Amino acid sequence: MSKEKNNAVKAVGSMMMITLLGKLLGLAREQFLAWNYSIGPQANAFSTASLIPRIFFDVVFASAISASFIPVFNEYMQKKGKEEAFKLSSNFITMVGMLSTLLTVFGIIFAPQLTAWFADGFDAQTAALCVNLLRILFPATIFTGLAFSFVGILQSMDEFNIPAAMSIISNAIIIIYYFFLNDRFGIYGLTVAFLIGWAMQAFIQIPALLKRGYKYKPFLDFNDKGLKKIIRLMLPVMVSTWIQPINLAINTKFASRLLDGAGVSAIGYANTVYSIIVGVFVLSVANVIFPQLSRMTMDDDKKRFGETVSITMEVMAFLLIPMTVGMMCLSEPIIMLIYQRGEFTQYATGLTSNALFFFSIGMIGFGIQAILSRAFYAEQNGRIPLLSGIISIGVNVALCKALAPRMGIGGLALASAVSSTVSAIVLFIPMQKRNRIISKTLVIQIIKMIISAGIMAVVVIIGKNTIASAFEPSFMTSLVEVGVPTISGIIVYMVLTRILVVPYAKMVFDYGTKFVKGKIKR
């Protein structure tokens, strides 16, 4: 195992732990929503109202901020120094603040129309509630715009932990609300708590910026060369990053027509679990390598660029192949363990676990898409991700129409998974031609991982079925039904990949041995 490969794995360690904590708190937040509101009308209205501002922000700004701002900011840092880079960022933040404010005003005015478009299956009462909640939540786009801009600055200065930690604070605020205020203020109070949590995502980053000498000076100059370059890069990137939010909007629209609107909540809960599990690994890796790839592009280091993408793909395969198999095998006990109590019944568990099973199929595609899209953005190339996004959206719409009547919310989740995979393939083909990121050796290693994961699946299923048949359904049974097969599966996968000489398995075993012997600081 080369030193560079070791660094590729270790570089994301602390960020993964912070991200994991934030994701766990996000899961706890969703648990409280499920326990208090299940898949009823209030949950459906709130889920849709909280989704719409996020979708609008993602479509207009989110990935475009990171994908276009970070490369240009890095270029200024290297070639013109901090002062000019900070001046550029001030201009950029002012523009984002102005545009996100206009978007907020638009969202508040046209809330009824947006609700009707995103959830045309809601009854009149649920739709009216959704409109009220949406008007409270739309100002979140302003705070999110600031937060993402701050993330771009901090990550460009190699500070990843603070941006990763911002979700910890926002989720903690919402969880505190559930404990102390939910019984008194209900769904409207919860909506305000969400807005406060989103605002804190921006405010928590300010001390870290000040510590690094950052100063914001408000001004707006559209003739600035740096801002023009960002906008020029942002437009194709902005369109190319529509894939995930638009696909999510499509799935929500179709889900609102299923089960009297309950499909919205069920698919939302499943997507939350899926996003948490995949996000800890995929987004942690992607966020760390993107600034590095941007700097390599500035230095015209094509060889190292290709090697970094290849190493990252190998790391992703080693992690995501067994995770995909494991989550498909354990989808029902996972949902039962996380959500089934309070107002959340066995019926809701069945719907949600069905969606989670099919979401899981797209995990590897999501990982490849996340890495390769950032590789193209680092090269300041948004055209290929744009093509990938358009194709993916078309596939998702076609599959939703074809599968929803036959498979319900499972069909919507499968449509999403397939569209992510198609997007990954469209990105992979040109990247492979240019950088040869996949070699014969890597293909052999991936085959070994798949074989190991297949044998692992047999062990996991046998363990799950044995436990389920031996004990009556309960929280402890679900805990054991998830925990024991998961641990057994990890052990089997690691042992098999070690026997088959998969490099990362050897690294994990060597690290574990040193840890046990006390040669690594705990």
Residues 6+ positions from 102 with CB-CB distance below 8 Å? none
Give yes or no: residues 399 and 499 share one domain: no
Nearest to 373 by CA among 312, 318, 332: 312
Burial of 19 per CB tally in 10 Å (0-12, 13-18, 19+)? buried
Q: In this predicted model, which residue has the larger pLDDT, 481 or 11?
A: 481
Identify the domain boundary among 438, 465, 494: 438
What are the CA-CA distances from residue 459 to residues 333, 485, 504 (Å)? 16, 7, 22
Nearest to 162 by CA among 276, 22, 9: 22
Which value, in Å, is the radius of gyration of the alpha carbons in the chain? 23
Q: How confident is the model at residue 522 (pLDDT cuts 50, 70, 90)?
A: very low
Structure tokens belonging to residue 430: 């040109």
With beta carbons less than 8 A apart as the criterion, state whether 349 and 476 touch: no
Structure tokens belonging to residue 317: 């395969």
Q: How confident is the model at residue 23 (pLDDT cuts 50, 70, 90)?
A: confident
Structure tokens belonging to residue 31: 């648990």
The C-alpha atoms of residue 288 and residue 284 are separated, in whole angstroms, by: 6
- In the prediction, which pLDDT does 462 show? 95
Give yes or no: residues 379 and 456 share one domain: no
Q: Residue range 200-204: average pLDDT? A: 91
- In the prediction, which pLDDT does 410 show? 93
Give yes or no: residues 28 and 41 share one domain: yes
Q: Is 342 helix (H, G, I), strand (E, B) or coil?
A: coil
Residues 6+ positions from 25 with CB-CB distance below 8 Å? 167, 168, 171, 172, 175
Q: Does residue 86 surpass a pLDDT of 70? A: yes
Give yes or no: residues 426 and 443 share one domain: no
Give yes or no: residues 516 and 432 share one domain: no
Identify the domain boundary among 438, 471, 502: 438
Q: How far, rounded to the nearest angstrom, does the alpha carbon of residue 63 sit from its chain's CA centroid? A: 11
- Per the structure, the count of domains in the chain is 2
Burial code (b: 16+ CB inside 10 Å, e: under 16) for 316-330 equals: bbbbbbbbbbbbbbb
Q: How confident is the model at residue 212 (pLDDT cuts 50, 70, 90)?
A: confident
Sign of CA dihedral 483, 486, 489, 494: negative
Burial of 332 per CB tally in 10 Å (0-12, 13-18, 19+)? buried
Identify the domain boundary among 438, 468, 502: 438
Q: Does residue 154 surpass a pLDDT of 90? A: no
Longest CA–CA span in the chain (Å) reads 71
Give the pLDDT confidence of 285-336 residue by residue, as tens digits. 666 665 566 566 665 667 777 777 888 888 888 889 999 999 999 999 999 9
- In the prediction, which pLDDT does 242 show? 64
Q: Does residue 276 surpass a pLDDT of 70? A: yes
With beta carbons less than 8 A apart as the criterion, state whether 140 and 53 touch: yes
- Other C-beta atoms lying within 10 Å of the C-beta of residue 105: 11
- In the prediction, which pLDDT does 292 show? 64
Q: In this predicted model, which residue has the larger pLDDT, 176 or 235?
A: 176
- In the prediction, which pLDDT does 436 show? 78
- In the prediction, which pLDDT does 521 show? 47
Q: Does residue 517 surpass a pLDDT of 60? A: no
Give yes or no: residues 408 and 488 share one domain: no
Give yes or no: residues 355 and 295 share one domain: yes
Structure tokens belonging to residue 78: 């290297």
Give yes or no: residues 291 and 334 share one domain: yes
DSSP string covering 403-469: HHHHHTHHHHHHHHHHHHHHHHHHHHHHHHHHH----HHHHHHHHHHHHHHHHHHHHHHHHHHHHHH
Give yes or no: residues 451 and 427 share one domain: no
Q: Does residue 356 surpass a pLDDT of 80? A: yes
- In the prediction, which pLDDT does 215 show? 86
Q: Is 145 helix (H, G, I), strand (E, B) or coil?
A: helix
Q: Is 519 helix (H, G, I), strand (E, B) or coil?
A: coil
Give yes or no: residues 366 and 454 share one domain: no
Q: Residue range 469-493: average pLDDT? A: 90
DSSP string covering 85-129: HHHHHHHHHHHHHHHHHHHHHHHHHTHHHHHHHHTTT--HHHHHH
Give yes or no: residues 386 and 454 share one domain: no
Give yes or no: residues 361 and 267 share one domain: yes
Q: Is 67 helix (H, G, I), strand (E, B) or coil?
A: helix
Instruction: Give the CA count within 13 Å in the CB-facing half-sphere of 472.
Output: 0
Structural domain of 469: 439-522
- In the prediction, which pLDDT does 7 show? 47
Q: At what angle do helices 41-60 and 140-156 cross, to 10 degrees?
A: 50
Structure tokens belonging to residue 184: 């008194």
The C-alpha atoms of residue 515 and residue 522 are separated, in whole angstroms, by: 8
DSSP 8-state class, residue 69: I
